[in-house]
Amino acid sequence: MFGISPIGWVHTLGSLPAIPAAAYMFARYGRIVPRSPAGTLYLVSMLIGGFTVFLVAHEPISNVIGALTILFLAAGYTVGRVGLSRAGRYIETILLSVTAFLLMVPTVSEILRRVPDGHPIVTRLDAPLLLGAQAALLALLIIGVTAQVVYLRRASGMRAG
């Protein structure tokens, strides 16, 4: 089904819970909160997806995205624990938002290139619809991170005042 191998299904189903976990945290907290139950689910799912991508990737860029995802996850989940306080919260928020972006770029690409089964919406990586969807994700990342930083600045200003 959809031309996905058994390890591909492990990759897909293992990383899938990260999407609703991230959506929940963005809606509830405005950011990914590492030290929460949803944050733990997000981390585990992202690590499954990040490590298994090396076994299923057909495009070299997929390996780069997997490696960056693992790197940014590790940094995002540890920076808050090293005592950087205010700066750490900004760095953590930005890094983990980038991981959500790195999750959604291949997710959107794979959906458009595999659905409906046998007659995908997009057949080439340079298709205008796919490039437009990826550009929209990039715009959402930029707008979202900007909003998160503004919110964090206002929240820290309220505590200081």
Tell me, yes or no, whether 67 lies in a domain: yes
Tell me, yes or no, whether 52 lies in a domain: yes
* pLDDT, tens digit (0-9, with 9 covering 90-100), for 3-18: 889 999 999 999 999 9
Look up tokens 């940014």; give the residue.
72
- 3-state SS, residue 150: helix
Asked if the model's pLDDT at residue 28 lies above 60, the reply is yes
Confidence of residue 159 (pLDDT cuts 50, 70, 90): low
Tell me, yes or no, whether 1 lies in a domain: no
State the pTM of this model. Answer: 0.92
Tell me, yes or no, whether 77 lies in a domain: yes
Tell me, yes or no, whether 106 lies in a domain: yes
Tell me, yes or no, whether 129 lies in a domain: yes
Count helices and strands in the chain by DSSP H and E runs: 6, 0
* pLDDT, tens digit (0-9, with 9 covering 90-100), for 36-64: 999 999 999 999 999 999 999 988 999 99
Find the domain containing 16 and state its range. 6-160
Confidence of residue 119 (pLDDT cuts 50, 70, 90): very high
Dist. CA 131–CA 139, nearest whole Å = 12
Tell me, yes or no, whether 99 lies in a domain: yes
- Asked if residues 156 and 86 have their Cβ atoms less than 8 Å apart, the reply is yes
If one compares 45 and 86, the residue with the highest pLDDT of the two is: 45
**What is the domain count for the chain?**
1
Asked if the model's pLDDT at residue 160 lies above 70, the reply is no
Dist. CA 39–CA 81, nearest whole Å = 15
Confidence of residue 1 (pLDDT cuts 50, 70, 90): confident
